[in-house]
Structure 1
Amino acid sequence: MSAKSLQVLISGAGIGGPVAAYWLAKAGHDVTVIERAPMLRKEGQTVDIRKEGLKVIEWMGIRRQIDERTTKEAGIRLVDTKGKVWAAFPQTGDTSFTSEVEIVRGELAMLFYEISKSNVKYIFGTTIHDFTETDDGVNVTLKSHSHDELQQEKFDIIIAAEGLYSRTRAKAFQEDIGKPIHSLNAFSTSFSLPADKSDTLWASATMFPKKRAVLTRPDGFGRTRVTINWFDQGGDARAIVHPSTTIDKQKEFVQLRFQDVSSWNLPRLLKGLAVSDDLYSSEIGQTKTSSWSRGRVVLLGDTAYCPSAMTGMGTTAAIVGAYVLAAEIVRQPADHAKAFKAYDTHLRSWIEQIQQLSPGVSLAAPSSRIGVGILYWVVYVISLLLKLGVGDLMSKILIASHPRVALPPVSTFDTPAEARS
């Protein structure tokens, strides 16, 4: 097998796409990243990076920059509608609700873009309109949304990092866009507003009847990030978070969803929602596919194996997946099929483990007012036990059982192309 420099197209400039681009470009491949949005998205909630994901960003040499942009979140508190704190869980290590690195998604995406842009070609406002595979590559028609133009390009492989609903995945696998998505009947709207004196470095969660919740978190830059979650088995919620729905309609839907409840800080949050310019609404679900590649198209991040926000591992999975995929491509540049298979084999067991949801997830979203009250008392007792030291043993058990995956050595990307042949 002769060494080969690849022409790589990556669709999606979120988290996984730029990380894969960075490592592939580092190994000498020609990488183009396209993104549907006209610029890098600034919206999004706070995300965390854990374990192997931290190792990858350290190898990228940006751990210091990330630490400078973290939210400095102290932990999370459960607060009732009158502002009373029932329980507090500080950032204490690997098993806490708040990870060592909490950062706004847009800030993280910007860092990955900044570190990769000198060696990677980025094209915004552009999507894959169509593609056709040949014996020696894939012919791609790119569509520029700003000029409504089509352009023909040829690449060796396509990496689809487009999120939960991926058109490229649907075309490659010749299936409905929603087929691999396992719905959790959960939805989320996030936005930011200026922090005030009631906001601290603690995140605060408030539960409401009818399976609704509001989470506020610091962002490290003088603003408060708000995430509004709700469960709904009907089709209205799914339609409202669809990208084709206007922002104004999404705002109206959420406001109506919470008009029957009162809370000490809800009026301020809903007022901030009304004037926000960084609103982002989405469905919370999981992606499960029997294969992460088809022909010359390979899936990455949420497009391939979204674990959902309920696991807290989505960002880590995207970073680790991007690194492993790039490593396998670098190891076998002249045989994309073997590289894609090795990527799948390397990560699938780990992904399946982190996709497993806790049995108590459904119980954490009560339907009735009584259920909410019971939940608060249960969480209060848990926090009390942790303060008494029971948490030390629980942490050791959780750490020992936490899924692990071995990462290819970083030297993979420094080996001369001749030696990789």
Structure 2
Amino acid sequence: MTVPSLNILISGGGIAGHCLAYWLSRTRLQTSITIVERAPVPRITGQAVDIHQPSIEIVKKMGLLNSVREYNTTEEGTTMLKPNGKPFLHLRQADGFSFTNEYEILRADLAELFNDASSKFRNVQCKYGDSVTSLTQTSSSVHVTFASGTSDTYDLVVAADGSASRLRDMILDPSVTKGCYNFIGQYNAFFSIPSRPSDDKMWHFMNLPQGRALMLRPHRNPDTMGAYVCVTTPGHGHKDQRMEDAIATGHEAVRGLLHEYFAGAGWQSGRILDGMDTASDFYISRSATVKLPKWTNNRACVVGDAAWATFGIGTTLAIVGAYHLAGELGKIKASSEIPGALEMYEQSLRPLYKAMGELPPGYPQILFPQTMLGLRVRDSALWAVSKGRGLFKLFGGDKDDNKFKLPEYDWVDV
């Protein structure tokens, strides 16, 4: 049987992009894969993420499950704090009632594991500090021009470049992408600060009025802690214009505004804000969802957050999506069958996405209230439902994902 030889471009060097490169390299196809990443170097920032079934099974098939365990953030559960910094609720993972997952890992660490796994294949190369500026499709190829001024022709192009993907609009029709990106009203700053002997292994979570929150979470590295500074607006689509202006100006402006917003916040706010000023890995992001009625177009498609950004389950869907996409492509007998394989990828994954891809009701505003009264109501509700599994169902846990079985594909052993 003739094995198709394909030239493939993946935009985005994160979890979805490297996972896809790995599984494409495990097909019987003869592939030449280029991963293009806008950042000049692999990203080292990002919050803690967790993975659920069926992505755990995929990671196991990659031989990385033990590594994921070794990279665990060591977090043991969540301690909820009142605005005065006093704890009122402890949710321990060992008790089976916690926001903390068994497979809790920093996003950068998981991306690094997938990067290492894909880079072992000679057919995979990474191109940093560049991005796609234009894309033109024909029935037989995709012509791409890059910001660096170079251009090339591919058999397949995949956008795996995050929720704010620029390539998404080049791939899909405007009628498909219109209104797909939805800001849910939350800004999150992530960075590392030095640890202290008094730090424990709990996720400390303190809310303040006006949707503000400060958090400390343990790292695998005992010398650092993960600091999170959150600002939540009253509703989805509602922007904080001062924050928008600061983000447009740069990180120093964002830091200055966060100092203003959290001045005198109590608890360990001084430690967190001082650490923010010197952190080398400071990063600010907007929380958003992406919902698309279509993920594919001819010889190009979207995967990961570029296709279905959501809360709590995005990493799982990115891993599963990459697996499905590579598996369906692995069935083709000729390059001309790529569009059909992309359609099958979408058909096979949609049921899982529909079951798992929705935000928890009222999130994030229900967890980050604007008023003291709202905080008291939320705290009472958290305490009450923590006595049963309702808490974790309410905020996206306990998803019934075991009923989704991974399709069997013809992978090449490595």
> Normalised by the size of structure 2, how large is the TM-score?
0.89
1:82 is displaced (CA, Å) by 3.6
1:230 counterpart = 2:252: no
Q: 1:124 aligns with which of 108, 112, 128?
A: 128
Range with bigger deviation, 220-229 or 399-408: 399-408
Q: 2:259 aligns with which of 247, 255, 267?
A: 255
For this pair of structures, how many residues does the alignment match? 398
Counterpart-to-counterpart distance in 1, 2:240 and 2:348: 37
Q: 2:57 aligns with which of 55, 58, 63?
A: 55
Tell me, yes or no, if the aligned pair for 2:188 and 2:285 is still in contact at 8 Å: yes
What secondary structure sits across from 2:340 in the alignment? helix
Q: Deviations over 1:59-117 (max 9, x none)?
A: 11111122111111101110124432211111148874111111111111111111111
What secondary structure sits across from 1:356 in the alignment? coil
Tell me, yes or no, if the aligned pair for 2:212 and 2:230 is still in contact at 8 Å: yes
Q: 2:81 aligns with which of 79, 89, 104?
A: 79
Look up the match of 1:412: 410
Look up the match of 2:91: 89
Counterpart of 2:327, as a letter, is A
1:171 counterpart = 2:170: yes
Counterpart-to-counterpart distance in 1, 2:51 and 2:283: 21
Look up the match of 1:147: none
- Structure 1 residues 6-405: aligned runs within 5 Å: 6-27=6-27, 28-92=30-94, 96-119=98-121, 120-144=124-148, 150-175=149-174, 179-222=179-222, 223-232=224-233, 233-234=238-239, 236=241, 239-240=244-245, 245-259=249-263, 261-308=264-311, 312-332=312-332, 334=334, 335-361=337-363, 362-383=365-386, 385-386=387-388, 399=398, 401-402=400-401, 404-405=403-404
1:279 is displaced (CA, Å) by 1.3
Counterpart-to-counterpart distance in 2, 1:292 and 1:404: 24
Counterpart of 1:109, as a letter, is A
1:369 is displaced (CA, Å) by 1.4
1:133 is displaced (CA, Å) by 1.6
Tell me, yes or no, if the aligned pair for 2:209 and 2:375 is still in contact at 8 Å: yes
Q: Deviations over 1:38-66 (max 9, x none)?
A: 11100111111111111111111111122
Tell me, yes or no, if the aligned pair for 1:14 and 1:109 is still in contact at 8 Å: yes
Counterpart of 2:352, as a letter, is W
1:125 is displaced (CA, Å) by 0.6
Counterpart of 1:414, as a letter, is V
1:181 to 1:237, Cα distance in 2 relative to 1, 3 A = farther
Counterpart-to-counterpart distance in 1, 2:289 and 2:208: 24
Counterpart-to-counterpart distance in 1, 2:314 and 2:249: 25
Q: Deviations over 1:220-279 (max 9, x none)?
A: 10211112222222352673585x5411122122222223x5221111101111111111
Q: Deviations over 1:338-382 (max 9, x none)?
A: 111111111112212222223253322221112212322332333
Range with bigger deviation, 184-193 or 41-50: 184-193
Tell me, yes or no, if the aligned pair for 1:22 and 1:116 is still in contact at 8 Å: yes
1:178 is displaced (CA, Å) by 7.2
Taking only aligned residues, the RMSD between alpha carbons, in angstroms, comes to 2.6
Counterpart-to-counterpart distance in 2, 1:281 and 1:71: 21
Counterpart of 1:407, as a letter, is L
Counterpart of 2:230, as a letter, is N
1:300 to 1:404, Cα distance in 2 relative to 1, 3 A = farther
Counterpart-to-counterpart distance in 2, 1:351 and 1:74: 29
1:186 is displaced (CA, Å) by 1.7
Counterpart-to-counterpart distance in 1, 2:249 and 2:317: 28
Tell me, yes or no, if the aligned pair for 2:182 and 2:290 is still in contact at 8 Å: yes
Structure 1, unaligned stretches of length 5 or more? 145-149, 416-421
Counterpart-to-counterpart distance in 1, 2:319 and 2:210: 35
Counterpart-to-counterpart distance in 1, 2:119 and 2:412: 19
Counterpart of 2:156, as a letter, is I
Range with bigger deviation, 23-32 or 350-359: 350-359
Counterpart-to-counterpart distance in 2, 1:304 and 1:393: 25
Tell me, yes or no, if the aligned pair for 1:219 and 1:225 is still in contact at 8 Å: yes
Tell me, yes or no, if the aligned pair for 2:207 and 2:368 is still in contact at 8 Å: yes
What secondary structure sits across from 1:29 in the alignment? strand
Tell me, yes or no, if the aligned pair for 2:99 and 2:392 is still in contact at 8 Å: no
> Normalised by the size of structure 1, how large is the TM-score?
0.87
1:330 to 1:98, Cα distance in 2 relative to 1, 3 A = same
Counterpart-to-counterpart distance in 2, 1:99 and 1:140: 40
What secondary structure sits across from 2:273 in the alignment? helix
Counterpart-to-counterpart distance in 1, 2:178 and 2:193: 33
1:3 is displaced (CA, Å) by 3.7
Counterpart of 1:406, as a letter, is K
1:394 is displaced (CA, Å) by 8.2
1:392 is displaced (CA, Å) by 12
Tell me, yes or no, if the aligned pair for 2:180 and 2:292 is still in contact at 8 Å: yes
